[in-house]
Amino acid sequence: MAIDMDLRQGNRTGSPVEILGKFYKTLRDLPIIWVSILLVVLVIPAIFAPIIAPHDPYEGDIANRLDVPVWYEGGSWDHILGTDRLGRDLLSRLIYGSRIALFVSMTALLISATIGTTLGLLSGYFGGWPDHIIQRVVDIKSSIPAILLALIFVSIFGPSIFIAISIIAIFLWNRYTRLIRAETLSLRNQDFVARAKVAGCSTTRIIIKHILPNVVNTLIVLATLEVGTVIILESTLSFLGVGIPRPIPAWGVMVSDGRNYLAVAWWIAILPGVGIFLTVLSLNLFGDWLRDHLDPKLRQVQR
């Protein structure tokens, strides 16, 4: 009987359900897959683009236009992923497109996070009329569509990378304001803030030295999750022609350029779309992992 019990327990331990459970726990505890995808698709190509790109992303050759990828009959290793309608190497444009995506997302997030966090701290700490004014501005901003804002900016200043960054930063700052305000409201009445006031600390010092460090975890998680939103927004604006201007090799521009060739050269539009999909998916999953590990309440629930 004891031997039979041991055998049954051993079978349960090695069951497919147990194995899948352990595999999922490993993925949850160590986001190796998502970080690897980010490194391969976004970070490494963006940093080492001049080294690993086989061709100039702006240089075209009409004689080689719409060349098929290497896995098709007639494909060439000189253009592994084929070429676009102007004969430009698609792999090189994808690699340089990751650099555009990383630069735009990081710059826009830095600007929007700085503005939104500052306003959120001021709104939550002071309350009263500053809070009412800031929140009404947030409400007005939330009612303005990003596409309409983009059309207004582009019609005035023309399309450029910096206009795209400005549009995205203006579109996202209110999300930081609302979240940081809520966190500040819960912190301003804590004992450590009261002790800092009694000790004679200035308002600026209390906000910077005592409240801001306590909202940094929330800020990091939100910024990580917003990177995917920024990439999607930048790609959408570029696809509509109000974001990154041509011939800069942005992923959204590449999808827009290839939409008329889906029947004969699907790789021009699909491959940049796959890059956007993998980047946003891995960023969102990595952001979920980061939230689970930085939020002490979630850590207690998991235990």
95-302 carries CATH number 1.10.3720.10 = yes
Residue 33 to residue 261: CA distance in whole angstroms: 32
CA angle 168, 142, 162 (to 5 degrees): 15
Element (H, E) at 270: helix 267-294
Residue 108 near residue 168, CB atoms below 8 Å: yes
From the DSSP assignment, how many helices (H) and strands (E) are in the chain? 15, 0
Confidence of residue 10 (pLDDT cuts 50, 70, 90): very low
Residue 279 to residue 294: CA distance in whole angstroms: 22
Task: Kindly tell me if the per-residue pLDDT of 141 is higher than 50.
Answer: yes
Confidence of residue 86 (pLDDT cuts 50, 70, 90): confident
Beta bridge partners of 79: 76
Q: Over the stretch 91-139, which tens digit does the pLDDT of each residue have?
A: 889 999 888 888 888 898 899 889 989 998 888 888 888 888 988 888 8
Residue 76 to residue 73: CA distance in whole angstroms: 9
Confidence of residue 3 (pLDDT cuts 50, 70, 90): very low
- Count how many residues are written for the chain: 303
Q: What is the 3-state secondary structure (H, E, C) of 90-157?
A: HHHHHHHHHHHHHHHHHHHHHHHHHHHHHHHHHHHHHCHHHHHHHHHHHHHHHCCCHHHHHHHHHHHH
Confidence of residue 295 (pLDDT cuts 50, 70, 90): low
Task: Kindly tell me if the per-residue pLDDT of 222 is higher than 70.
Answer: yes
Quick one: what percent of the chain has pLDDT higher than 90? 1
Beta bridge partners of 249: none
State residue 153's pLDDT score: 80
